[in-house]
Amino acid sequence: MTTFFIYILKWALCLALLYIPFALLLRKESFATFNRILLVGIIALSAILPSVVVTYPVEVEIIKGIGGIADGLTVGESIAPGITAISEAPAKESLLTLGTLVVIYLAGVIIALILRVVEATRILLYIRRGTLWIEKRDGMTIHCHPNDATPFSWFGHMVISQADYDECGTEIILHEEGHYRHGHSWDMLLLSMVKALQWFNPFVYMLANDMKEIHEYEADRYVLKHHGNTSAYQLLLLKKAVGDTAFNLANNFSQSCIRKRIIMMARKPSGWLHRGKALSFAPMAGVFLLIFAEPEYIYRIVEDDNTTEVTEAPLPVTVTEAAPALPPVEITPMPLPVQRPHMGKIPKQEIEPLETTPMSEQMQELVNKYEEHANEMYYEYVDLDGIDAGASLRDLDLRKCSIRMQFTAGTDGEVHSIEIQECNVSVSGGGDDIMQRIEESKRIAAEIATRHILSKEWPCTIKDGRSYRTIYDAHMILQFGRAETMSTASHARPMMIGSYPID
């Protein structure tokens, strides 16, 4: 719901930016149909643009230290100049404020929808009740009411009083028929839905008033096209100008914009060059996209004068706990040899051998593990689009995952001792289930990375004709698409950086 509320706010701002050029440049032009199409286009374009995300690159340099990139960072600790680690969970106060705004907005939408439903029900009941007679004409149904009825039309139904029908029924029926032929009721229905969702946006009501005026201009031209007597029709409009508006949702014959309608009838048609003013919408749409552009961070990982670029999504840095340290190892000190004082030359057989104390089991296991091995660093992008489990991550709105693993490639060519050192994920949107989606994304990403490690060939290090058991420190970035040439692995065997055996 928070994501939808932010979308509504962006929609409101985009609609305002697109409506301003119309109000300043095109409102007074005489091409009514063109302006009507523009207003409908403004509504549609303002609803689509908030879903378009534009990014711009921001380069950040990070010096990689022992234990990986930004290991064990706490909230507020600096990653690089100008970049600090922040928590994904917003402050409690901001949550309460945003939740209150969402509740107020939903209450306004519900009230607005109820009012529209009530008004539509009133129109249908008013059309059916008090009808003196009904006439079918050219697809329209004319309902004649008593003398106090105000003329209006709603889709294929038209209401007219008996007095108006006897006095000037031809002009009024032609006017309402013009509304029906141009499909103005559909525009009013669309605007009623937009006003319900954007009830707080004053530009929506200004746009709705302009749309009503354009409807009247089109209906007036329809009357003049089929009637021909412009002066008589203008006098009729002045006579009916004192009438009240029956329903806001319907197309009423008596409107308050009589003066504008008469001026528009007398005005010469605007030239085609004036339609070029519509090009002013393009820079306003560009302004909107620039306002909500998001940074795309490009981290430059620096180690031993070697630079590796890693593209990150424009999301806060996820702070995770550092990898657990190895359990403490009990080390029994080895006593120094004690020699007895002796004068003169000491025969070899009289020298006492050094005494040693056996190592503990934990110490012996640690020595056996790291006795002979080589260390390797490995970086790779993994494209989730070609992986079956990637669909589950897409459903969780995963944007990117960085995972660090450590495993051992033995001299026999087998991979074992795979350990997840750290796993950071970035997910889209918010909501109450964001932490659950993050944990589930980590679990699935760890399974994908493990299967990816097991699917490759990881040979041990060979130096001076001797094989060394190799411990790999693998850094992988899992994302959808753009799995480019960041992999340090070839098809035959992975490229290893900084290999060195330890005797």
- What is the per-residue pLDDT across 221-233, written as a single tens digit (0 to 9) for each? 888 888 767 777 8
pLDDT of residue 188: 92
Residue 308, strand partner residues: 301
pLDDT of residue 323: 52
> What's the number of CA atoms in the CB half-sphere (13 Å) around residue 165?
18
Q: Which two tokens stand for residue 38?
A: 């523009």
Residue range 312-317: average pLDDT?
Answer: 50
Residue type, 299: Y
Q: Is the pLDDT of residue 462 over 90?
A: no
Q: What is the mean pLDDT of the chain?
A: 74
pLDDT band at 364 (very low <50, low <70, confident <90, very high): low
pLDDT of residue 40: 93
> What's the number of CA atoms in the CB half-sphere (13 Å) around residue 341?
0
Q: Which residue has the higher pLDDT, 446 or 138?
A: 446
Q: Which of 234-248, 288-302, 387-401 has the lowest mean pLDDT?
A: 234-248
Q: What is the DSSP string of 428-449?
A: SS-STTHHHHHHHHHHHHHHHH
| Range ranked top by mean pLDDT from 142-156, 238-252, 297-311, 319-333 | 142-156
Q: Which residue has the higher pLDDT, 406 or 56?
A: 406
Phi (first) and psi of residue 449, to 5 degrees: -65, -40
Q: Which residue has the higher pLDDT, 465 or 181?
A: 181
Q: Which residue has the higher pLDDT, 304 or 494?
A: 304
Q: Which two tokens stand for residue 327?
A: 């359990």
pLDDT of residue 382: 86
- CA–CA separation, 119 vs 347, rounded Å? 119
Pair 261, 240: CB distance under 8 Å? no
pLDDT of residue 485: 42
- The DSSP call for residue 89 is S
- The DSSP call for residue 276 is G
Residue 416, strand partner residues: 408
Q: Which residue has the higher pLDDT, 252 or 472?
A: 472
Residue range 439-458: average pLDDT?
Answer: 87
pLDDT of residue 253: 57
Q: What is the DSSP string of 313-368?
A: -SSPPPP-PPPPPPPP---PPPPPP------SPPPGGGSPPPP-PPPPHHHHHHHH
| Burial status of residue 176 (CB atoms within 10 A of its CB: 0-12, 13-18, 19 or more) | buried
pLDDT of residue 108: 93
Phi (first) and psi of residue 372, to 5 degrees: -135, 110
Q: Is the pLDDT of residue 110 over 90?
A: yes
pLDDT band at 266 (very low <50, low <70, confident <90, very high): low
Phi (first) and psi of residue 35, to 5 degrees: -65, -35
pLDDT band at 77 (very low <50, low <70, confident <90, very high): very low
Q: Is 292 helix (H, G, I), strand (E, B) or coil?
A: coil
Q: Which of 50-54, 457-461, 479-483 has the lowest mean pLDDT?
A: 479-483
Angle between helices 32-48 and 281-291 (to 10 degrees): 10
Q: Whats the size of the chain, residue-wise?
A: 503
Residue range 111-125: average pLDDT?
Answer: 92
Q: Give how far Cα 58 sits from Cα of 75, 82, 457, Å.
A: 21, 11, 36
Pair 430, 2: CB distance under 8 Å? yes
pTM of the entire predicted model: 0.51
Pair 39, 218: CB distance under 8 Å? no
- CA–CA separation, 206 vs 218, rounded Å? 19
- CA–CA separation, 71 vs 320, rounded Å? 8
pLDDT of residue 256: 52
- CA–CA separation, 402 vs 425, rounded Å? 6
Query: Considering Cα of 463, then 465, then 466, then 468, what sign does the dihedral take?
Result: positive
Residue range 241-263: average pLDDT?
Answer: 62
Pair 330, 360: CB distance under 8 Å? yes
Residue range 8-12: average pLDDT?
Answer: 92
Q: Which ranges of 22-148 does DSSP label H, i.e. alpha helix? A: 32-48, 92-128
pLDDT of residue 268: 66
Residue range 263-286: average pLDDT?
Answer: 72
- CA-based Rg of the chain, rounded to a whole angstrom? 38
pLDDT of residue 190: 93
pLDDT of residue 242: 55
The full set of domain ranges for the chain reads: 2-290, 330-502
For the chain, what is the total number of helices (H) and then of strands (E)? 12, 16
pLDDT band at 12 (very low <50, low <70, confident <90, very high): very high
